[in-house]
A and B are shown apart, each in its own frame.
Chain A
Amino acid sequence: MIPFTVIGGFLGAGKTTLLNRLLRADTGRRFAVLVNDFGALDIDSRLVVAHGGDTIALANGCLCCTIGDSLVTTILALLERPDRFDHIVVEASGVADPGRIADLAVLDQRLVRDGVIVVVDAGSVRERSADRRVGDTITRQLAAADLLLLNKTDLADDLALLRGWLSTQSPAPVLEARHADVAIDLLFSLPRLGGAASAEAPDAFASWSYEWAEPVERGIVLGMLRAAGVLRAKGIVRFVDMPARRSVIHQVGNRLDISDGEPWRESETSRLVLLGLKPMLGSLQRE
């Protein structure tokens, strides 16, 4: 299963800065990044191992592809490539609705919709959202976000006011940054359940793991998932109200998917991993 993330946000918000950071980061994961224009990316030429027309392959296993006229065709072609990659990230155009692009994950069973991250320019978003020509585009983008990356916070006149306004535009959790410098793990999938934590684990965030031998009350789990500060969650849980099935939990920011799938295997235990901002997570109880 390949997670499918969309990075949206208006022109100049910092999408490219974020993608540059992603491509340079030592994540241990191979990202396939789909962009509108290579030229805007800041790829160290020493890291390029292959360059073929609309694709650049990097030494760290990452791929960059240009989107061209048809995003659908590009995504499907990417899936047919022999190269292996672990995660697809699509850069939405500055006027696109990233939520619609995230829908494309349904096109192939190998893809799983991971999240819509909308990058917001703290210095200009209020003004842009009042612009008669692009205001509704901005509003749609904010509403589509699972996670908001409030960027260029040093340019905001009144950050608290801005955050208040932002909360009226979208229920998504907000991460702040000046140069799109947010921990990559906060934006993309957690490492596999039970796997080692990523090398990049600054003080800002923490992850909490839970395990249950017996079936769990759905309400308890939902309460944990909705706790303030929880940005991502992943788990396979056996609920009291559905003990015969594995309930697969996937949460990115504001978007929660619980799918009830295959039969529960007796040898399994319920497991849940939450990732969020440290100060807030501290309030959660460990089981």
Chain B
Amino acid sequence: MSTVVYPARRILTMNPNRPSVTHVAVRDGRILGAGSLEELRGWGKFELDERFADKVILPGFVEGHSHAYEGGVWKFPYVGYFDRIAPDGTRFKGLKNIDEVVARLRAHEKTLAPGASLLAWGFDPIYFGGRRMVLTDVDRISTGRPIVIVHSNFHVANANSVVLAKAGITRTTNVHGIVKDASGEPTGELQEMTAKYMAYRAAGMEIAAVLSDEQAVWRFAKVAQLAGVTTATDLHNELPESTVEGYLKASASDDFPIRLLPAFAAASVPPAQGIPRLQALMKKNNDRLRFQLVKIVTDGSIQGLSARMRWPGYYDGTPNGVWNVGPDDIDRILLSWHSAGFQVHIHTNGDEASEVAIEAVERALMAAPRWDHRHTLQHAQMADAGQFRRMKALGMCANLFANHLFYWGDIHYAKTLGPERAERMDGCGTALATGVPFAIHCDAPVTPIGPLFTAWCAVNRLTASGRTLGEAERISVADALRAITLGAAYTLKLDEELGSIDVGKRADFAILDDDPLSVLPETLKDIGVWGTVLGGKVFEAPRS
């Protein structure tokens, strides 16, 4: 039973009783104490470990909405507009136009076996400001193998002629989602499920298998760890046997650098089947793997034009979106899981979707009253003051998609929501003022995992073009740091176990190069992450 004391330049505890200290003591993977060296001496013999002496220590970051298939996509080349860090620490530079994407993939293509398919991801033409990618672009990469380039939202893909030919997609193919030009020819851009699947099949890609193989969860954990994350979610998974086995195996290893919380996809099986299944899975929980979360998806996404909105709907007149689990189904599903004692996370993007979810929680509570359920609205991008008030009254939480402000803020301002609603979207300020416990997230791989960046988004609300999207909804750095640590832990019912540097909690730390409370708020996202500590074990990030 050995004790290690780490001195640091500063330790931000998230404990209001002593918010900033200089030393933390760790024993058996837990925090023995945090304070001055004198105070900690009282615990007895200890070893002084000074490797963090000039670093700043925070509680390990908690990512309350991410997907493990972020690890899956890193098997393939990234072709996004913004720089992104790979699991091994390599920084991939963003590509700024179609020609650069083509050049990157031409180089990559040469490394592939003859005939093997090429899948790329993260493509984001909206930032190029200009024409869409078409067949001739992708054919320039190669016409000797199937090529599929998936957009960053994962709803759209661009294919080359080889794929179209194999899939039998021609001008006469009458399937929704096959984009055609003015003369009626397919452009190679494929939107939505059927069209995308035609491409994947033609390219011989077993997408589901590839995205969730055992290596994927390791890559996901590494990308998370590089960003200072010690607890992360895989927030929608059918949890088939193969995936569960993979998670159990990975989490059994002391080298696995995060605590993983998968969320069971509630609509994938009837509750009468799902509930016993999840209860059985919970018996396999260990320190680094917790089955306990449940997820319901109500609508689509705002930028994907599939969110369910209240009047007046989309700013540019796009018709209202689609339901996945709609108003008539959500009661039945939610009540079952709620009555069985589970915490339910509900994806809602549009404000009609959040309204339906809030009402469903209210009816569930009337039918089966429960304390401290903490059912959480995920994304809740359009929730307004009234909805936050209702959430507060019902004991609900919110996990707000702050990263959207940067990545799609300009689109929301100009096209989907209009100026007013864009300025109040992902309303951290209102959540805070109303007293709704909240977190902020990235939804990786839709946007990269990096809580400091997410906090930067919530603090500055700056779009990619530099516009401030709603001064009134900005929150302080201190509040944002809380949202990515204890706040997120609260939405996962882990707040007693981790999320702050406090006696008895897990020794999970984010080790930073600088003090987030001392730098300019605009530079919050640039603070370097040295590494993490998980249950007392040190994970240094590889330097690229």
Answer whether A106 and B326 are a contact pair too, CB < 8 Å, given A69-B268, A99-B176, A133-B356: no
What residues of chain B lie closer than 8 Å to A68, measured between beta carbons? 238, 268-269
A228 to B194, CA, bound (A): 33
CB distance from A40 to the nearest CB of B (A): 8
Check B322 against A95 for contact (C-beta < 8 Å). yes
Check B352 against A94 for contact (C-beta < 8 Å). no
Check A133 against B327 for contact (C-beta < 8 Å). yes
Check A72 against B193 for contact (C-beta < 8 Å). yes
What residues of chain A lie closer than 8 Å to B327, measured between beta carbons? 133-134
A42 within 8 A of B: no
Contact of A95 among B192, B201, B329 (CB under 8 A): B329
Count contacts on A: residues with CB < 8 A to the other chain. 30
Answer whether A136 and B320 are a contact pair too, CB < 8 Å, given A69-B238, A107-B197: yes
B113 within 8 A of A: no
What residues of chain A lie closer than 8 Å to B311, measured between beta carbons? 132
What residues of chain B lie closer than 8 Å to A97, measured between beta carbons? 322
A168 within 8 A of B: no
Contact of B269 among A66, A76, A132 (CB under 8 A): A66
Check A37 against B173 for contact (C-beta < 8 Å). no
B175 within 8 A of A: yes
A45 within 8 A of B: no
A10 to B356, CA, bound (A): 17
Contact of A37 among B177, B197, B265, B270 (CB under 8 A): B270
A285 within 8 A of B: no
Check A106 against B194 for contact (C-beta < 8 Å). yes
A73 within 8 A of B: yes
B319 within 8 A of A: yes
CB distance from A139 to the nearest CB of B (A): 10
Check A73 against B326 for contact (C-beta < 8 Å). no
Contact of A136 among B268, B272, B319, B329 (CB under 8 A): B319
Check B328 against A94 for contact (C-beta < 8 Å). yes
What residues of chain B lie closer than 8 Å to A137, measured between beta carbons? 322-323, 326
A106 to B164, CA, bound (A): 13
| Cβ contacts A122-162/B at 8 Å (1 or 0 each) | 00000000001110110000000000000000000000000
| Cβ contacts B303-329/A at 8 Å (1 or 0 each) | 000001001000000011011111111
A195 to B201, CA, bound (A): 35
Check A103 against B175 for contact (C-beta < 8 Å). yes
Contact of A134 among B176, B193, B319, B328 (CB under 8 A): B328
A14 to B197, CA, bound (A): 30
A240 within 8 A of B: no
Check B208 against A73 for contact (C-beta < 8 Å). yes
What residues of chain B lie closer than 8 Å to A12, measured between beta carbons? 328
A136 to B319, CA, bound (A): 9
CB distance from B204 to the nearest CB of A (A): 13
What residues of chain A lie closer than 8 Å to B168, measured between beta carbons? 106, 109
Please, which residue of chain B has its CB at the minimum distance from the CB of A72?
Answer: B197
Check B194 against A107 for contact (C-beta < 8 Å). yes
A283 within 8 A of B: no
Extra inter-chain contacts (10) besides given A66-B269, A133-B308, A134-B323, CB under 8 Å: A10-B328, A11-B328, A36-B270, A68-B268, A69-B267, A69-B268, A72-B193, A95-B326, A103-B194, A107-B201
Residue numbers of A with Cβ under 8 A of B are 10-12, 36-39, 66, 68-70, 72-73, 76, 93-95, 97, 99-100, 103-104, 106-107, 109, 132-134, 136-137
Can you list 22 A-B pairs, Cβ within 8 angstroms, ordered by A?
A36-B270, A68-B238, A68-B268, A68-B269, A69-B267, A69-B268, A70-B208, A72-B197, A73-B208, A76-B201, A93-B329, A95-B325, A95-B329, A100-B193, A103-B175, A103-B194, A106-B173, A106-B175, A106-B194, A133-B308, A133-B326, A133-B356
